Chains A and B, each alone.
Chain A
Amino acid sequence: MRGTFRRYRWLVLAALLSGLVIPAQLGAGPVTEIKIGAVYPLTGALASTAKLSKDGIDFAVDIINNRYDLALPLAKSEGLPNLGGAKIRVIFGDTQGSPETGRAETERLITGEKVVAVVGAYQSAVTATASMAAERLGVPFLNPDSTSPTLIQRGFKWFFRATPDDDIMSKNFFDFLKDLEKKKGIKVRTVALVCENTLWGTDVCKFERKYAKEYGYEVVTEMLYPARSTDLTSEVQRLKAARPDVVFMASYISDAILYTQTMKKLDFNTQAILAMDAGHVDPAFLKTVGKDGNYIFSREVFSADLGQRKPIVRIVNDMFKKRYGYDLEGTSARSFTAMFVLADAINRAGSTEPSALRRALLETYLTSDKIIMPWGGVRFDPANGQNVLGRGIIVQIQDLKYWTVWPWHLASRDVIWPMPTWRERK
């Protein structure tokens, strides 16, 4: 008898334990928690950028789940009112920056963790495969931050994108140049295109080339350089030889730092550098290069100084800075906003059922005063899931800060053009 118990004691123990656990779960009643998946490159070369997204998401979830006196959707209530005050919990998945891992993590979050929607994944190549997983499993995938135009040309049903893409933002640059000519009489004739050679940079170069031609600028050199080079002197040498009026850049953080240092070292001067956000607006950029980063322009989807024209931005940014020690920037602000878009849709759907959620997302209409972004609002194109109200701004680094300089009505400072030469800077 004793032997029998010994043999089955684990079984007995397990039975006792499950007896304890199961009633606890049954007693839980209606949904108290809504799980949302977030896939980001939490480890690897882009880990520092992924942390920005994570901070933005965590911060948004706190505002949604708790009571805050803010003019943002769902801030004034605890949790989601239409679901009995259910709270949102975000489960993070690490893509390690790899498309295959990104897809596997998305599948795991959807099927294993039973998340009702997924946000992510920063890198366009990873977003491509991760959203494919969501598409196959029939769960909404909301992308806050991947700007590759190919993503919305796939005819997906479950894919939504809040950010304007590289196509729109490349065009913004040339509109800016034309506006400069009109308003200030600054004439630009030649441009150089410098892009890192992965998916994103290659796409950017393609659109910049297209618009340069359309708007009548001469491209004097176009360079696709290997991302994360140990040395960029030959690239800068080529720029020196080409003597462009303006340099367009698309670089991730490590290359953005190295370019700035190399340009200084080799005394490369030009009228202006127009950067395609990413590396040039990463908080690590200015922290690392310091005043050498001054006068660089970047297209941006967000800037903390928008608070001067839009009070909600100032309030949110002050809270954010107090908690995380740095200003909101494009990446964190976009994931922050995406969480509100998603929470708002879940709340309106009143359920976590996928098709109801998809319908609610398609009916999304957030006006520009309900979001912290400089966009006209959020409304998705039913054909491809793109936010049709998104638009970019252009910022310039002046006195070690990013200032909005274009469009003029959102500008907090005037442009400095041309940028002083390295000799003049001392």
Chain B
Amino acid sequence: MTQELARRSISENLSRWGKVLLGVILAAFLLGYPFVFTGPFPQHLMIRIFLFAALAQAWNILGGYCGQISLGHAVFFGIGAYTSTILLIYWHLSPWLGMVVGVLLSLVATLLIGYPTFRLAGHYFAIATIAVGEIARVLVTNWPFAGGAVGLYVPLLPEGLRTFEFHTTKVPYYYISLLLLLAVTTTTWFLERSRAGYYFRAIKADPDAARSLGIPIHRYKLLALAISGAFTAMGGTFYAQYVLYIDPESVLPLMLSVIICLVAVLGGVGTLWGPILGALVLIPLSEGTRVYLAGMGGAGRAFDLIVYGALIVLMSVFEPTGLIGLWRRIQRALEVRVSYARLAAARRGEQTVRGPGSQ
């Protein structure tokens, strides 16, 4: 109910032109960013934000909308990264095709993983996903064909869109990651409005009720996992082509699964903008604390992580719905002010104040 109110208030306050203007400004900013910030570091930062926003958004489809909390999404990321790299190394297949194969393989994996694990509820499911992730990591670590613990170097090829490798510039990586984020966000947007999205939320709210309503919950959970896993695999291929080196410790660790989930949670699960907001805040925060705080009290003192940990606690305690919740709270506060202003204006018999969007 309050969500509905908040949404309506946005559309009320922003006139249509205001919205269009905002959209244009945002698009111009995103498209122009790499030309304004030409250094590799700001570009790297943005690429990381896009990548993690996309991963968190993909996670959000399963975890946020469907309510199945996975702490093993690194598996799909790893499948994407390893499939394209192995195909490239052994069969010289273009990473773009590798990405497609990776997605297909991750779909197979979602079936294999999802089928048994979806019988589990709540924490049993979450720990089962941890178990699956760790098993995958151990297997790859001991699999010489996939490079084992040594990992795989992506062969250095002439740069270009065809080879999916760029050595002199990060700009193409920037747009590809932006595209990935757009794709997964658009998918989420459609899902939100589709029957499947409605079913997802019903399963999250009350699986038993959903079942009694005749929703085939098992099938829809699998669907959510499949979509989620497919996009995560794409992220994996992107990572491999971006960093050009993969090993089990960097593409399959438990910590990666946790961070993907953390980004979504901090932003606000089950919302379209939550994961993006989460990445926008969390990634610069972790990079920023590393750069600016790591030196405090002497390097190696982990001062940055102290701040990071404390922030996570404060956030979960005081704003458990995530940054989106915080944003809505601010909005509501503004709302109250606006309505007070309206009231005052009406009393003075002046023209009605139309809200900040139209000024």
Give yes or no for direct A-B contact (beta carbon below 8 Å): yes
**A interface residues, Cβ below 8 angstroms from B:** 42-43, 47, 50-51, 54, 92, 94, 96, 98-101, 103-105, 107-108, 111-112, 125, 128-129, 132, 136-137, 150, 154, 197-199, 201-203, 224, 226
Across-interface contacts of B300 in A (CB, < 8 A): 42-43, 47, 50-51, 54, 94
B320 at interface, CB cutoff 8 A? no
A101 to B290, CA, bound (A): 10
Nearest-CB residue, chain A, relative to B250: A99
Across-interface contacts of B41 in A (CB, < 8 A): 104, 107-108, 111-112
Interface string of B129-166 (1 = CB under 8 A from A): 00000000010011000001111010000000000000
Give the shortest distance, in Å, between B176 (CB) and chain A (any CB).
17
Across-interface contacts of B243 in A (CB, < 8 A): 99-100, 103, 129
B122 at interface, CB cutoff 8 A? no
Q: How many residues of B contact A (CB 8 A)?
A: 33
B208 at interface, CB cutoff 8 A? no
B6 at interface, CB cutoff 8 A? no
**Residue among A42, A47, A54 with the most chain B CB within 10 A?**
A42
A240 to B209, CA, bound (A): 59
**B interface residues, Cβ below 8 angstroms from A:** 39-41, 44, 48, 138, 141-142, 148-151, 153, 167-168, 239, 243-245, 247, 249-250, 287, 290-291, 294-295, 299-302, 304-305
Pick from A98, A100, A137, A197: contact of B149, CB below 8 A: A197
A224 to B249, CA, bound (A): 16
CB pairs A–B below 8 angstroms (17 shown):
A43-B301, A43-B302, A47-B300, A92-B295, A98-B250, A103-B243, A104-B48, A111-B40, A112-B41, A125-B151, A125-B247, A150-B150, A198-B247, A202-B148, A202-B150, A224-B149, A226-B138
Pick from A94, A199, A226: contact of B294, CB below 8 A: A94
Pick from B40, B149, B305: contact of A43, CB below 8 A: B305
Nearest-CB residue, chain A, relative to B137: A226
A108 to B290, CA, bound (A): 12
A111-B245 CB under 8 A given contacts A42-B300, A47-B300: no
A100-B153 CB under 8 A given contacts A42-B299, A107-B41, A224-B142: no
Inter-subunit contact B142/A197 (CB<8 Å): yes
Inter-subunit contact A199/B250 (CB<8 Å): no
Across-interface contacts of B301 in A (CB, < 8 A): 43
A199 to B148, CA, bound (A): 8
A96-B290 CB under 8 A given contacts A47-B302, A107-B41: yes
Known: A92-B299, A99-B247, A112-B39. 18 other contacts (CB 8 A): A42-B299, A43-B302, A47-B302, A51-B300, A54-B300, A92-B294, A100-B243, A104-B41, A104-B48, A107-B40, A111-B41, A150-B153, A154-B153, A197-B141, A198-B149, A198-B249, A202-B150, A224-B142
